A and B are shown apart, each in its own frame.
Chain A
Amino acid sequence: MDTNGAYILRVEDLKKYFPLRRGLLGRGIAHVKAVDGISFAVRRGEILGWVGESGCGKSTLGRTVLQLERPTSGKVFFDGQDLTQLGGEQLRRLRTKMQIIFQNPYSSLNPRMPIGRALIEPMVVHGIARGKQAQERAIELLQLVGLNPYFINRFPSEFSGGQRQRIGIARALALNPSFIVCDEPISSLDVSIQAQIINLLQRLQQQLGLTYLFISHDLRMVQHISDRIGVMYLGKLVEIGPTEEMVHHALHPYTQALWEAVPIPDPEVEEKRQVAILEGDVPTAANPPSGCRFHTRCPYVMPVCREEEPALVELAPGHFAACHLHKR
């Protein structure tokens, strides 16, 4: 894969295990395999949607990609450089290029810092701008995200949830990044505000030529905003491909079940629809099932699924799935 041209980010066999202490004195350590051997690449200028249910490891993946959590193993190439090999200063310099937008902008903003300063501080720390120049850039950023620059000296508590998320976005943009991980950016917002923020993210992406890894459990929003979609289940990437393919020709039974489960906001359609319900619960990531991790809930389970873990293979151009049903 060409990391300097078409791809901005390439992730190779990334793993992030969290130790789980058991017994007295923490002996007999088990692990939660939050991210367990994931490989994918992100094209420059695309929005890659990333979905999965709670506890599947999607947020950990986003944080590990950015090295906010150091991976257990694996590589993350950003603009051709392996981030996992970089330390301190080198990584800090690259951080200006990759940013994150969090789910809850309130907990990620310092309540005692006026929003203008929250925007200026990263610029000063990273030596991008200072003084009057930084102030002007802060004003520009506020305008860019649709906030009145008049509010520059106000505190986060004086803003509504949607406005705070705009501030979170402005701060992510302060360092002129090229890549942004959006970690559930709309899930704490009201319905009428969600569309505002999605439209804003979309406009900024086009206007500034940004690349997003858009993590969400809201499948309809992901479908709306993404060029491609990746689906995660219990630490594994089970399917990835172009949005249209993923929605209308999903290959993995789990992806199919996810789309099936999402209600369609049209009572006429819902009335006629027979929803095929996926049985059972999501197993725990501390003790995932053998073979294919989805086999305990899969309606098409075969003997091989219990034994052997399926590999992620390309089944149609750019469309990969990890399922024994589609062995070639």
Chain B
Amino acid sequence: MPLLQVEDLRVHFRTKDGLVRAVNGVSYELEEGDILGIVGESGCGKSVSALALLRLIPEPPGEIAGGHAYFEGQDLLALKRKELYGIRGRKIAMIFQDPMTSLNPVMPIGEQVAEAIWVNSSVSRREARRRAIEVLAQVGVPAPAERYKDYPHQFSGGMRQRVMIAMAISCQPRLLIADEPTTALDVTIQAQIVELVKRLQRELGMAVIWITHDLGLVARVARRICVMYAGRIVEIGPIKEVFSRPQHPYTLGLLASVPRGRTGRRQPLRHIEGAPPDMISLPPGCAFQPRCQFCAEECLQEEPSLVALGDGHLAACHRLGRLPVEALAPKVAS
């Protein structure tokens, strides 16, 4: 049985302009110890679909409109709030893009980590403090005993993210959800944090869902990749398979639009025409159809569903197997 099994997840937001189907029928599985990268552009539903697992969607205006999320056999979406406390932070932890908004600015960082440990396990305050220092050391905060009493503003962005990670892993969760944790960081600091999470993942054997818009980063971090567009999964599969043989025109376009060294001086990048759709009035049929260069009559009629292509690779496109993907696949150069 997979660690996490998401089935037909739907999340809606009621706005004054209309109903936004932010997540519109998302299904995937995550095995123990696996690393799934979820990529997509802003508004594609990648963050919302992960927040919904822990019921962290503000309701209203948000609402989980349907689906199941089985974690260790329990449906997270059917649990009572109280039952959820036993899972949030203990079995599923989360780190966010901006640690400053998740840390308490007027509480020393050591105490915040210790509190997370104390709340989530039955240990004494003293033991929680000892463990907090240990876990701060584990995430690479230098001199954790001395810095225990320091406040978040005394830390750099990278160090604050380390503190957040310390809190997240303090109870040895089975699943860590990382929502763009390095987007606000500089490239050299980003590399530090990525290596840290990869090391902790190996040491603790936890599964990771890493949400990002950065295709380079997902190639570095993930073992499987899930590409989202307009609230739906358009392609999912083993990372090497999807990068070398992308099947959905959107995945293909994304991969081709990333610069990969100079393939010839001043050659234009391949780009996807148009812009992501307005989530309130999605186009008929396939949501990607207005931007798709392979769009055919059937694409305007019906929404395509995910089709298995073998080896856990799935894609949702009416024209699967009939696209000249080989000719368009990005040439790798350094």
Question: Counting CB contacts under 8 A, is A315 at the interface?
Answer: no
Question: Counting CB contacts under 8 A, is A192 at the interface?
Answer: yes
Which residues 166-216 of A sit at the B interface, judged by CB distance below 8 A?
Answer: 190-196, 198-199, 202-203, 206
Contacting A277 at CB < 8 Å: which of B159, B195, B217, B266?
B195
Contact (Cβ within 8 A) A261 B191: yes
Question: Counting CB contacts under 8 A, is B324 at the interface?
Answer: no
Which residues 27-76 of A sit at the B interface, judged by CB distance below 8 A?
Answer: 53-54
Question: Counting CB contacts under 8 A, is A89 at the interface?
Answer: no
Contact (Cβ within 8 A) A191 B258: yes
- Distance of A193 Cα from B266 Cα, bound (Å): 18
Which residues 239-266 of A sit at the B interface, judged by CB distance below 8 A?
Answer: 243-244, 247, 257-258, 260-266
- Distance of A281 Cα from B187 Cα, bound (Å): 11
- Distance of A267 Cα from B186 Cα, bound (Å): 22
Count class of interface residues, chain A: 35 or more
Contact (Cβ within 8 A) B257 A281: no
Q: Which residues of B contact A270 (CB under 8 A)?
A: 219-220
27 inter-chain pairs at a CB distance below 8 angstroms, sorted by A residue, are A190-B42, A192-B41, A192-B271, A192-B276, A195-B257, A199-B268, A202-B266, A203-B268, A220-B259, A223-B259, A258-B188, A260-B191, A262-B187, A262-B216, A263-B219, A264-B334, A267-B219, A267-B240, A268-B240, A269-B219, A270-B219, A271-B240, A275-B220, A277-B188, A278-B192, A281-B189, A282-B156
- Distance of A214 Cα from B297 Cα, bound (Å): 42
Q: Which residues of B contact A289 (CB under 8 A)?
A: none
Contacting B213 at CB < 8 Å: which of A191, A224, A257, A266?
A191
Closest to A159 in B: B275
**With A192-B272, A263-B217, A263-B219 as given contacts, are A269 and B334 in contact (CB-CB < 8 Å)?**
yes
- Distance of A202 Cα from B267 Cα, bound (Å): 9
- The winner among B216, B222, B270 for most chain A CB atoms within 10 A is B216
Question: Counting CB contacts under 8 A, is B214 at the interface?
Answer: yes
Contact (Cβ within 8 A) B188 A53: yes
Q: Which residues of B contact A275 (CB under 8 A)?
A: 191, 195, 220
Q: Which residues of B contact A263 (CB under 8 A)?
A: 191, 194, 214, 216-217, 219-220
Q: Which residues of B contact A220 (CB under 8 A)?
A: 216, 258-260
Tally of contacts, chain A with chain B, CB under 8 A: 132
Contact (Cβ within 8 A) A53 B187: yes
Closest to A161 in B: B275
- The winner among A191, A220, A221, A269 for most chain B CB atoms within 10 A is A191
Question: Counting CB contacts under 8 A, is A296 at the interface?
Answer: no
Contact (Cβ within 8 A) B258 A277: no
Contact (Cβ within 8 A) A261 B187: yes
Question: Counting CB contacts under 8 A, is A219 at the interface?
Answer: yes
Contacting B262 at CB < 8 Å: which of A193, A243, A258?
A243
Q: Which residues of A contact B258 (CB under 8 A)?
A: 191, 195, 220, 265
Contacting A258 at CB < 8 Å: which of B187, B213, B214?
B187
Contact bitstring B196-240, A, C-beta under 8 A = 1, else 0: 000000000000000001111101101000000000000000011
Question: Counting CB contacts under 8 A, is A160 at the interface?
Answer: yes
Contact (Cβ within 8 A) B216 A196: no
- Distance of A265 Cα from B240 Cα, bound (Å): 11
Which residues 68-91 of A sit at the B interface, judged by CB distance below 8 A?
Answer: none
Q: Which residues of A contact B156 (CB under 8 A)?
A: 281-282
Say how far B205's CB is from chain A's closest CB, in angstroms: 19
Question: Counting CB contacts under 8 A, is A163 at the interface?
Answer: yes
Question: Counting CB contacts under 8 A, is B151 at the interface?
Answer: no
- Distance of A274 Cα from B156 Cα, bound (Å): 26
- The winner among A160, A196, A244, A263 for most chain B CB atoms within 10 A is A263
Q: Which residues of B contact A162 (CB under 8 A)?
A: 275
Question: Counting CB contacts under 8 A, is B100 at the interface?
Answer: no
Contacting A190 at CB < 8 Å: which of B195, B266, B276?
B276
Contact (Cβ within 8 A) A281 B159: yes
Contact (Cβ within 8 A) A277 B269: no
Contact (Cβ within 8 A) B257 A194: yes
Contact (Cβ within 8 A) A265 B260: yes
- Distance of A160 Cα from B244 Cα, bound (Å): 31
Say how far A293's CB is from chain B's closest CB, in angstroms: 14
- Distance of A263 Cα from B191 Cα, bound (Å): 8
Say how far B230's CB is from chain A's closest CB, in angstroms: 12
Contact (Cβ within 8 A) A261 B188: yes
Question: Counting CB contacts under 8 A, is B332 at the interface?
Answer: yes
Contact bitstring B252-283, A, C-beta under 8 A = 1, else 0: 01110111111000101111110110000000
Contact bitstring A216-230, B, C-beta under 8 A = 1, else 0: 010111011000000
Say how far B156's CB is from chain A's closest CB, in angstroms: 4
- Distance of A6 Cα from B261 Cα, bound (Å): 27
Closest to B258 in A: A265
- Distance of A173 Cα from B192 Cα, bound (Å): 40
Say how far B23's CB is from chain A's closest CB, in angstroms: 18
- Distance of A219 Cα from B261 Cα, bound (Å): 10
Q: Which residues of A contact B195 (CB under 8 A)?
A: 275, 277
- Distance of A275 Cα from B214 Cα, bound (Å): 18
Q: Which residues of A contact B332 (CB under 8 A)?
A: 266, 269
Q: Which residues of A contact B255 (CB under 8 A)?
A: 265
Question: Counting CB contacts under 8 A, is B158 at the interface?
Answer: yes
Say how far A42's CB is from chain B's closest CB, in angstroms: 18
Say how far B73's CB is from chain A's closest CB, in angstroms: 31
Say how far A53's CB is from chain B's closest CB, in angstroms: 4
Say how far B116's CB is from chain A's closest CB, in angstroms: 24
Contact (Cβ within 8 A) A217 B268: no
- Distance of A224 Cα from B187 Cα, bound (Å): 17
Q: Which residues of A contact B187 (CB under 8 A)?
A: 53, 217, 219, 258, 261-262
Contact (Cβ within 8 A) B260 A195: no
Question: Counting CB contacts under 8 A, is B138 at the interface?
Answer: no
Question: Counting CB contacts under 8 A, is B172 at the interface?
Answer: no
Contact (Cβ within 8 A) B186 A266: no
- Distance of A184 Cα from B159 Cα, bound (Å): 25
Closest to B239 in A: A267
Contact (Cβ within 8 A) A190 B262: no
